[in-house]
Amino acid sequence: MKLKKIGLIVNPIAGMGGSVGLKGTDGKEILTKALMLGAKPVAPHRAEIFLSHLKSLNEKINLLVGAGLMGEYEAKNVRFKNILPIGQRKKKTTAEDTKLIAKIMMENNVDLIVFCGGDGTARDLMDAVGMNLPVLGVPSGVKMHSSVFAVSPESAANIVTRFIYERLPLREAEVMDVDEEAFRSGFLSAKLYGYMLVPYEPELIQGTKVASLMTDDELRNQAAIAVYVIERILEPDTIYILGPGTTVRTITDLLNEKKTLLGVDLLCNGKIVDHDVNETKILERVSGKKAKIVVTPIGGQGFIFGRGNQQISPKVIKEVGVENIIVIATKQKIRGLKKLRVDTGDAEIDRKLRGYMRVIIDYGEEYLMPVE
Domain positions in the chain: 4-199, 216-371
> Is the dihedral angle over the CA atoms 155, 161, 167, 172 positive or is it negative?
positive
Taking only the tens place, the pLDDT of each residue in 230-267 is 999 999 999 999 999 999 999 999 999 999 988 999 99
4-199 matches 216-371 in fold = yes
CA-to-CA distance for 199 and 313, rounded, in angstroms? Answer: 30
For the chain, give me the number of helices (H) and strands (E)? 13, 16
What is the rounded average pLDDT of the residues 117-126? 95
Sign of the CA dihedral with 158 first, then 164, 168, and 173 last: positive
Do residues 212 and 332 lie in contact, with contact meaning Cβ atoms separated by under 8 Å? yes
Say how far apart CA 306 and CA 324 lie, in whole Å: 17
Percent of the chain exceeding pLDDT 70 equals: 91
The CATH number of 4-199, from 3.40.50, 3.30.450, 2.60.410, 3.30.1380, is 3.40.50
Who has greater pLDDT, 265 or 300?
265
Q: Write out the E strands in the chain.
A: 4-10, 61-66, 83-86, 112-117, 135-139, 170-178, 190-199, 239-242, 265-268, 271-274, 291-295, 303-305, 325-328, 341-342, 355-362, 365-371
Give pTM, 2 decimals.
0.87
pLDDT in tens, 333-356: 999 999 999 999 999 999 999 999
Q: Rounded mean pLDDT of 191-195?
A: 92
Q: Please give the pLDDT value at position 26.
A: 59
pLDDT for 109? 96
- The residue ranking higher by pLDDT, 22 or 89, is 89
DSSP tag of 57: G
> CB under 8 Å to 49, separation ≥6 — which residues?
153, 154
Please give the biggest Cα pair distance in the chain: 65
Task: Dump pLDDT digits (tens) for 3-39.
Answer: 899 999 999 988 776 665 555 555 556 556 655 666 6
Fold of 216-371: Rossmann fold (3.40.50)
CA nearest to 229, candidates 331, 364, 369: 364
